[in-house]
Amino acid sequence: MDQIGGDSLTSIAVSAKNILIVHAHPEPRSLNGSLKTLAAATLQAAGHTVRISDLYAMQWQAAACGADFPQRDPDERLHYGRASRTAYDGGTQAPEVLAEQEKLLWADAVILQFPLWWFAAPAILKGWIDRVFANGFAYGIGVFDGKRYGSRYGEGKLLGKRALVSVTVGGQEAHYTARGVNGHIEDLLFPLTHGTLYYTGMAVLRPHVVFGANRLPDEQYAAVADAYTARVRALFSEAPIPFRAQNGGDYDEQLCLRADLAQGNSGPAIHQATGDGGR
């Protein structure tokens, strides 16, 4: 883990923020590695403080298992969710899990940097989420009374923080459109943007996607870098995806979107309050 501090006491006092970058690529010299470094430098230049969780460099254990709970009786049948809650409430989580939770609480914004592998994040990043987003920390909180299903989707412990998913994709952009063979890129990332980040209360920005990453000519890198620099600079000013809040009145008691909203539409986009159920 690297930490980069702001370079101006004045900027820190007035406008500095804390940003956590979670990087998931095994090659430091990759495009993802370059974008991670670029984001950190851009944020540092703006007076912010950056911490980096480089999962491969940390040799992060992806598999969630009983070892995540050092005080658990190994002879007991493992129910991961219950063990997670017991360890969280009792302060007995694995130290590396606790350290990542503390980074999340410290951060005003989180950037996830990774390549799209088999239409999802690499296993090491999914494993970071599985282990760090523990019961009692990221889910299982709030009131559950049959009508209200906890504090999630626009509520939660990470409320007030921002999130940006920055992903590189090997295929062409046309392949990841609404009519493209691979499906819309925002639909593929919906489990992460909506089901993980927004679920825990974060305001999620539109994903930043670099298409054709496997065949990116060197002469095109400058344009890629400029585009990403602009996104990073707008981390705290850009409007987030207008996801609908679970407890904001748009859903019925079964948590299905009200029949009068997004009529005639379906799919992940209806969970955005765009007015027509589309993008």
Burial of 156 (0-12, 13-18, 19+ CB in 10 A): buried
Residue 87: what residue type? Answer: A
- Minimum mean pLDDT range among 37-46, 102-111, 232-241, 263-272: 263-272
Portions of the chain given CATH number 3.40.50.360: 2-242
> pLDDT band at residue 54, thresholds of 50, 70 and 90?
very high
Structure token digits, residue 255: 């948590």
Please determine, for residue 153, whether its predicted confidence score (pLDDT) is greater than 80. yes
CATH second-level architecture of 2-242? 3-Layer(aba) Sandwich (3.40)
Please determine, for residue 12, whether its predicted confidence score (pLDDT) is greater than 80. no
Helix axes 31-45, 221-233, angle to 10 degrees: 40
d(C-alpha 95, C-alpha 91), whole Å: 10
pTM of the model: 0.90
Cα 1 to the chain's mean position, in Å? 18
pLDDT of res. 136 = 95
- Minimum mean pLDDT range among 28-32, 204-208, 233-237, 274-278: 274-278
d(C-alpha 4, C-alpha 207), whole Å: 24
